[in-house]
Amino acid sequence: YYARGYRFDYQFAGRRPPRFHRVRARREAAARLASLAPVLWPGARVLDFGSGSGEFLAAAAAAGHGVLGIEPGEDYAAHAREVHGVE
């Protein structure tokens, strides 16, 4: 269910994250990365469970970290790979 139906049923989102989601996710990703900065040494590897559309992974990768996300929602996982270049 989560792989294909959750986003539509629960969030009324389609196959791609709506603009408001992407804007909010980028803002939250920046805040999360800032809060983790004291414990993330340069080049740290980051594993994100429930990585959604990949904004946090993209921010962490841009900061020089190795990243991997676990996202069971197929469409949002595809978005993360295609738009942000993260797995």
Task: Look up residue 64 and give its amino acid.
Answer: G
Q: Which two tokens stand for residue 67?
A: 């990243």
Q: Burial, 26: exposed, middle or buried (Cβ in 10 Å; 0-12, 13-18, 19+)?
A: middle
Closest residue by Cα to residue 33 from 15, 18, 55: 55
Q: Which tens digit of pLDDT belongs to each residue from 8-35?
A: 666 556 667 778 888 999 999 999 999 9
**What does pTM read for this prediction?**
0.83
Please indicate whether residue 10 or residue 84 has the higher confidence score (pLDDT): 84
